[in-house]
Structure 1
Amino acid sequence: MINIDSYAYSNNLKKIHPAEKSVFAVCTMTVCLTSPTVITPLIILTLMAGGIISKAGIPVRVFLKLMLIPLSFLLLSVLTIAFSISTNPSGFWISQTMYGFTIGIYYPDLITAIHLFLRSLGAVSCLYFLALTTPMTEIISILHKLKVPAIITELMMLVYRFIFVLMETAITIHRAQLSRSGYVSLKVSYRSLSRLFSALLGKVFVKSQELYNAMSARCYTGEIKVLTKKYPISLRNYILIAGLELPLILINLFNRV
């Protein structure tokens, strides 16, 4: 299991002010999502990969595994944009006709799909940069300073926590099933998988109750309070962020004309 939290607390950028990393990630993601060209997302993807691997010291295999997670969803999304079905075979760039229907790709649709794919990957890399270099407690503290409602930040904290609880519980159950030959055949695998989901549901309810009891024992009054460190504000880092963002914005503006 990829424990994002462990890298967030032990990376080489852990001493950088969380506001600086948040500004960099959010601004870069905004530039990426508003880009009218494929050049900007490619630059951003390379920039974030370099920041995560070279600057933060995150292993390459971890970054690649994380990028593979949204890849399948993105591929399914862009394929529905790139491919079209029509009874009129004219206008297709690449096509195949079967039983009176033509399945193919229009060139403008292909460019749109590639653009959407790269923009999505670039935006995801920005989110991974923030998640792998900044602990959730520090992100929550930034949101508190921005006057985000407490109910939203608390839900974020609980959902984030339960993602790891869910993954850890599922891996434990799966490992126990493997030790009992629970996946020796396709039929047995389906049965074991259904039992895994049913057992997982019950255990998650138990874990949630245990978490609430632990919070109540620590005087929980309806608001989750987190301790955060004080970091020095670096003007140099903000100048560096501006120096990285301005060329990307200019590329977007020049390609929009």
Structure 2
Amino acid sequence: MFKIDQYAYTSSLRHVHPGEKFAFAMLTMSICLAASSVLVPALVTCLTAAAIILVARVPARFYFRLLLLPLGFLVAGLLAITLTISREPDPAVCGFAIRGITLGVTIPGLYHAALLFTKSLGAVSCLYFLSLTTPMVEIISVLRRLKVPALLIELMGLVYRFIFVIMETAGRMYISQTSRCGYAGLKASYRSLAQLVSNLFVKSCYRSQALFTALLARGYTGEIRMWEDPRPVSRKNLALIALVDFILLVLVLVSWRWPV
């Protein structure tokens, strides 16, 4: 089991109705993406971090390590937005010229990059809040109540299950190779890694087919029904969610009129 799943099952918000957490994450993420200033996404990032660390009791070190994962993709994408290349001198560009080509940045470009960065980080933090406080089976249950097509829900469940199948298969193969000194040197490591990757697909396909056969043997008809633990909806939590999202929405509307 992944660490994310462990914290989802052991967090302090585990017994809160999953619909409340799903509504908070989706509404807050939508408001964050609709913002036209860096203030609201920054507030969303701080708010969700406080909810995850202080309320759900997820270790801060683990959460910030999770935030480091998308930073590489964000930085690589923002470089293409921030940098400006021009063949003619432009006083708005702060940079340097190489053989008649001006390479630099502009103030609007920097602001646009900062806005995209904070929006992306805020949206990711909302999804982390949902995944670190709500098990996957409960998320699927909420999607089923929202009348999401059954095919999409089944694909989500099967893909989620096959991730563990692939990880378990890769772990066993790695242990087997290590016990035979497959990673004793650099050359042997590359050779063992190539064999692991090539054989992993074949073994994973075989195990997935065996899993599907087991489902058919147990009466699988295209939909996996799971036990849903009934939980009451808290009016207090709904009021708090409505208040927080209303304040964020007001800030978004103000930022549309007076960008910050």
TM-score clears 0.5: yes
Q: CA–CA distance in 2 between the matches of 1:168 and 1:147?
A: 33
Q: Deviations over 1:96-148 (max 9, x none)?
A: 32233222112211111111011001001101111111111111111111111
3-state SS in 1 of match to 2:96: strand
3-state SS in 2 of match to 1:223: coil
Change (3 A) 1:73 1:177: farther
3-state SS in 1 of match to 2:103: strand
What is the deviation of 1:176?
Answer: 4.7
Q: CA–CA distance in 1 between the matches of 2:7 and 2:188?
A: 37
Change (3 A) 1:48 1:91: same
The 5 Å alignment of 1:9-20 reads: 9-20=9-20
Calculate the TM-score normalised by the size of structure 1. Answer: 0.92
The 5 Å alignment of 1:1-257 reads: 2-177=2-177, 180-182=181-183, 184-185=185-186, 187-257=187-257
Change (3 A) 1:172 1:121: farther
Change (3 A) 1:131 1:89: same
Q: Deviations over 1:67-99 (max 9, x none)?
A: 122111111111111112221231344313223
Q: CA–CA distance in 2 between the matches of 1:183 and 1:79?
A: 39
Q: CA–CA distance in 2 between the matches of 1:107 and 1:172?
A: 52
What is the deviation of 1:167?
Answer: 3.3
Percent identical pairs in the alignment equals 46
Q: Unpaired segments of 5 or more residues in structure 1?
A: none
Change (3 A) 1:175 1:88: farther
Calculate the TM-score normalised by the size of structure 2. Answer: 0.91
Change (3 A) 1:75 1:239: same
Q: Is the 8 A contact 1:15 1:231 kept in 2?
A: yes
What is the deviation of 1:188?
Answer: 4.4
Instruction: Give the total of aligned pairs.
Output: 256
What is the deviation of 1:38?
Answer: 0.3
Q: CA–CA distance in 2 between the matches of 1:243 and 1:9?
A: 27
3-state SS in 2 of match to 1:84: strand
Q: CA–CA distance in 1 between the matches of 2:97 and 2:164?
A: 47
Change (3 A) 1:169 1:224: same
What is the deviation of 1:157?
Answer: 0.9
Q: Is the 8 A contact 1:94 1:104 kept in 2?
A: yes
Moved more, 191-200 or 162-171: 162-171
Amino acid of the structure 1 residue aligned with 2:247 = P
Change (3 A) 1:47 1:103: same
Q: CA–CA distance in 1 between the matches of 2:40 and 2:81?
A: 21
Q: CA–CA distance in 2 between the matches of 1:91 and 1:167?
A: 54
Q: Is the 8 A contact 1:2 1:62 kept in 2?
A: no
Q: CA–CA distance in 1 between the matches of 2:185 and 2:25?
A: 45
